[in-house]
Chain A
Amino acid sequence: MTKRRPAILVLEDGRTFHGEAYGSVGETFGEAVFNTGMTGYQETLTDPSYHRQVVVQTAPHIGNTGVNDSDDESGRIWVAGYVVRDPARVGSNWRATGGLEERLSAEGVVGVSGVDTRALTRHLRERGAMRVGISSVETDPRALLARVRQAPEMVGADLSTEVTTAQPYVVAASGEHRFTVAALDLGIKRNVPRRLAARGVTTHVLPAGSTVDDLLATGADAVFLSPGPGDPATADGPVALAREVLRREVPLFGICFGSQILGRALGFGTYKLGYGHRGINQPVLDRVTGKVEVTSHNHGFAVAWPGRGQDPGAVEVPGARHGAVVPDAVIETEFGGVQVSHVCLNDNVVEGLRAKDVPAFTVQYHPEAAAGPHDADYLFDRFAELIEGRTHSEGRTHA
């Protein structure tokens, strides 16, 4: 292998790391975030929620299993840049159809390898996610730093329109068709319709600019708000749509960004986490059952704990650390009572909302996994049951 070109990584606060070019040669900017998953780099790279983010992998060896044709979560790589410590010299797996670096180069993703990712991650953890630049063409860190500071920030970024599908498409139920769901694509991952299809749900995926009537015109029994990138404070369109869905009492489920949208629709605030949750082993307490799930996360923003004033996160939940079922306060909203159904046990961040009086619930984490553990797969069953309950009680039928 030829010697790699030197590359530099410069953070917004001036900290510089030296490494070698990985993937495409060039220059890129984004928000530096770290992902703690030991596996699933292909799913991470193709997850639209990483749009405009430079992902630092804390796992030191990346690329060991190459890339394959079936693990993509969308049609392309979305990360703005990629930071790894030791890229695999040889990728090897029976499913692999190519090498990771070749794929990164082919899609023009600028990366850097040979970086002390442990020191970098610690820096981000202590000082928070910040803008970053990677360059294998610029050698002067000061020049790159000036450009990093001109790059747009993640706060206030409205990105879902950049990642949404151009045309509506349908993912058919596998086996017997039971329900139809209209999904608002704000950066959906392929595994969501797949998980729904496994439960007899046909999913109509619609572009981010769709209206409630567009969604319901598909004959949908329920609405799904997808995960996606960006600052939920900018998502006024989807929030208005969610409010209309709640008003009409159409069953609603949302994941990640979709959860933040439900939070805003209910009148709660959202805020940016210090360094976010990105990984596949985050413990989450289901406050309804008292069970703890190990879950896949990818969010830099979260819903502010409702009814606690201006202090956003970091709320001490009595007994939460010990897995105790917390007698939960019901927060009154204009759509009736709402409970915080799930909470992250690492930092007590709101991870799920459940409306008591309207058929709506969301989670901040990723029950569709990909990559990650399948502990939370039951949430799709819960969604199917919710739809079933509504369609029966109202006597609505769909072929």
Chain B
Amino acid sequence: MAYPPAAQSPPPRQPSVKVILASADVQRVVDRIAHQILEKTQGAENTVLLGIPTRGAPLAKRLAARISTFEDVTVPVGVLDITLHRDDLRRHATRAVGPTQVPPGGIDGRRVVLVDDVLFSGRTVRAALDALNDVGRPASVQLAVLVDRGHRELPIRADYVGKNIPTSLAESVKVTLAETDGTDEVKLYGGTPA
């Protein structure tokens, strides 16, 4: 009889990955945010959706599509590039400046809903508020995000949150969308192993 093999050193730890929202969940969450926008804006009246690249832009388009399915109203959609307003612009290599597309009619005097995938430090949103200044003067600005993972560094909060994910700073949240990455998914990487 052979003795059982001596204990090996434990295998290297795999970084843990957890799917927080699968494809159907992302769709459901987008639907709900669309409903909430309708309810909080008196039927999306005088409202413009502006997506923050990269993934905020397709999200804004989806929200507008869902809103028009639910209530038969057309909400103008645009893209707001924030590159030149980032507070870490000088610390990194040169970035490509993306296009900003403001829907016809502009944003002056309208209610702008900024759309982004993940709300984290709040610095992106701050930059977006700066970038809005270059485009016009909205009557009010709201914020819709697919995921709020906490750890704000600025006094910013979202008006519409798809999913609150309490995280540690050691973790990271990754959103993928069909339009940009092939699949709809929200994943949480790292953190304490199971």
Tally of chain B residues near chain A (CB < 8 A): 6
Q: How far is the CB of A56 from chain B (nearest CB, A)?
A: 15
- A116→B70 CA distance, assembly (Å): 9
Q: Is B134 an interface residue (CB 8 A)?
A: no
- A43→B120 CA distance, assembly (Å): 45
Q: Is A142 an interface residue (CB 8 A)?
A: no
Q: Is A119 an interface residue (CB 8 A)?
A: yes
- Which residues of chain B in 113-172 are interfacial with respect to chain A, using CB atoms and an 8 Å cutoff? none
- Which residues of chain A in 100-128 are interfacial with respect to chain B, using CB atoms and an 8 Å cutoff? 116, 118-119, 122, 126
Q: Is B38 an interface residue (CB 8 A)?
A: yes
- A119→B70 CA distance, assembly (Å): 6
Q: How far is the CB of A16 from chain B (nearest CB, A)?
A: 11
- A116→B31 CA distance, assembly (Å): 10
Q: How far is the CB of A255 from chain B (nearest CB, A)?
A: 32
- A118→B38 CA distance, assembly (Å): 11
Chain A contact residues, majority secondary structure: helix
Q: Which A residues touch B39, using CB under 8 A? A: 122
Q: Is B86 an interface residue (CB 8 A)?
A: no
Contact string against A for B residues 17-53, beta-carbon threshold 8 Å, 1 for contact and 0 otherwise: 0000000000000000001001100010000000000
Q: How far is the CB of B65 from chain A (nearest CB, A)?
A: 14
Chain B contact residues, majority secondary structure: helix
Q: Is B71 an interface residue (CB 8 A)?
A: yes
- A126→B44 CA distance, assembly (Å): 14
- Which residues of chain B in 61-76 are interfacial with respect to chain A, using CB atoms and an 8 Å cutoff? 70-71
Smallest CB gap from A116: residue in B: B70
- A118→B71 CA distance, assembly (Å): 11
- A396→B19 CA distance, assembly (Å): 73
Q: Which B residues touch A122, using CB under 8 A? A: 35, 38-39, 71
Q: How far is the CB of A394 from chain B (nearest CB, A)?
A: 55
- A122→B37 CA distance, assembly (Å): 12
- A248→B33 CA distance, assembly (Å): 58
Q: How far is the CB of B64 from chain A (nearest CB, A)?
A: 16
- A126→B71 CA distance, assembly (Å): 12
- A118→B35 CA distance, assembly (Å): 8
Q: Which A residues touch B35, using CB under 8 A? A: 118-119, 122
- A119→B73 CA distance, assembly (Å): 13
Smallest CB gap from A125: residue in B: B39
Q: How far is the CB of B124 from chain A (nearest CB, A)?
A: 30
- A119→B72 CA distance, assembly (Å): 11
Smallest CB gap from B72: residue in A: A15
- Which residues of chain A in 111-151 are interfacial with respect to chain B, using CB atoms and an 8 Å cutoff? 116, 118-119, 122, 126
- A229→B71 CA distance, assembly (Å): 31
Smallest CB gap from B36: residue in A: A118
- A161→B39 CA distance, assembly (Å): 40
Smallest CB gap from A118: residue in B: B35
Contact string against A for B residues 64-101, beta-carbon threshold 8 Å, 1 for contact and 0 otherwise: 00000011000000000000000000000000000000
- A116→B38 CA distance, assembly (Å): 14
Smallest CB gap from B70: residue in A: A119
- A118→B31 CA distance, assembly (Å): 10
Smallest CB gap from B71: residue in A: A119
- A13→B70 CA distance, assembly (Å): 16
Write the residues of chain A forming the contact surface with B, with a CB cutoff of 8 angstroms.
Answer: 116, 118-119, 122, 126
Q: List 10 A-B residue pairs with CB atoms under 8 Å apart, sorted by A's residue number.
A: A116-B70, A118-B35, A119-B35, A119-B70, A119-B71, A122-B35, A122-B38, A122-B39, A122-B71, A126-B43
Which 3 pairs, one residue from A and one from B, show the smallest C-beta to C-beta distance?
A119-B70, A118-B35, A122-B39
Write the residues of chain B forming the contact surface with A, with a CB cutoff of 8 angstroms.
Answer: 35, 38-39, 43, 70-71
Given A119-B35, A122-B71, 8 extra CB contacts under 8 A:
A116-B70, A118-B35, A119-B70, A119-B71, A122-B35, A122-B38, A122-B39, A126-B43
